[in-house]
């Protein structure tokens, strides 16, 4: 049976920091809208305090998480142990989108490495922290980070990345407002 935690303590934070990937899920208010689940990697996740986390959001093909958070703030982040003892950890919260160039983004940016494709920081205020067994999650061996996104943004260059975001990240698949470009 899963355990509910009041806060992310040092033990949970250490476990989170060892995970190589996490998943982010959001949904629009419209029950016909698309539920989104996105895998995330690289060195992009931070525990800011026991009830606040953030991740550096990089330019991608869509903007679902940003659009959903702007509409309703609901977000769940899930970590799975793919190595070592089985465990799943879900972080439920209210998310804020701190777009690149804003004062709020600049305040948190030093917490993260530099990535050319950065477009926002997703800040999450947690209201439920819960683990579960993860007994059915398979074991995988981590072989390394993929560098495809980093090469793609380097190839596009700063102006090309901005142009791409203007074209692809202004609205969600459901037509919700995405980035303020």
What residues does each domain of the chain span?
Answer: 4-135+142-168
Stretch 137-164: mean pLDDT: 95
Residues in the chain, how many? 181
**Calpha distance 87→95 (Å, rounded):** 24
Average per-residue pLDDT for the chain: 96
In the chain, what percentage of residues exceed pLDDT 70? 99
Stretch 4-12: mean pLDDT: 98
User: Is the predicted pLDDT of residue 2 greater than 90, yes or no?
Assistant: no
Query: 99-129: per-residue pLDDT in tens?
Result: 999 999 999 999 999 999 999 999 999 999 9
CATH T-level assignment (fold) for domain 4-135+142-168: Pnp Oxidase; Chain A (2.30.110)
Stretch 32-53: mean pLDDT: 97
Query: According to the model, what pLDDT value does residue 1 have?
Result: 64
User: Is the predicted pLDDT of residue 181 greater than 80, yes or no?
Assistant: no
Other beta carbons within 10 angstroms of residue 13's beta carbon come to: 16
Other beta carbons within 10 angstroms of residue 109's beta carbon come to: 15
Residues 6+ apart with CB under 8 A from 52: 123, 124, 125, 126
- Asked whether 96 and 69 are in contact (CB, 8 A), the reply is yes
């Amino acid at each position: 049976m899963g355990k509910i935690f009041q806060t992310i303590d040092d033990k949970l934070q250490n476990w989170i920091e060892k995970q190589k990937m996490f998943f982010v899920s959001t949904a629009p208010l419209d029950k016909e809208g698309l539920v989104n689940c996105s895998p995330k990697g690289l060195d992009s996740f931070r525990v800011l305090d026991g009830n606040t986390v953030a991740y550096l959001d990089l330019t991608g093909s869509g903007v679902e998480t940003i659009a959903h958070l702007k509409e309703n703030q609901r977000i769940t982040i899930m970590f799975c142990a793919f190595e070592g003892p089985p465990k799943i950890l879900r972080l439920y919260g209210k998310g804020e989108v701190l777009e690149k160039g804003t004062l709020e983004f600049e305040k948190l940016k030093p917490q993260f490495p530099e990535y050319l494709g950065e477009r926002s920081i997703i800040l999450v205020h947690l209201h439920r922290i819960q683990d579960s067994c993860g007994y059915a999650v398979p074991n995988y061996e981590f072989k390394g980070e993929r560098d495809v996104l980093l090469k793609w943004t380097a190839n596009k260059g700063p102006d090309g990345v901005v142009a791409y975001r203007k074209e692809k990240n202004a609205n969600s698949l459901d037509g919700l407002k995405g980035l303020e470009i």
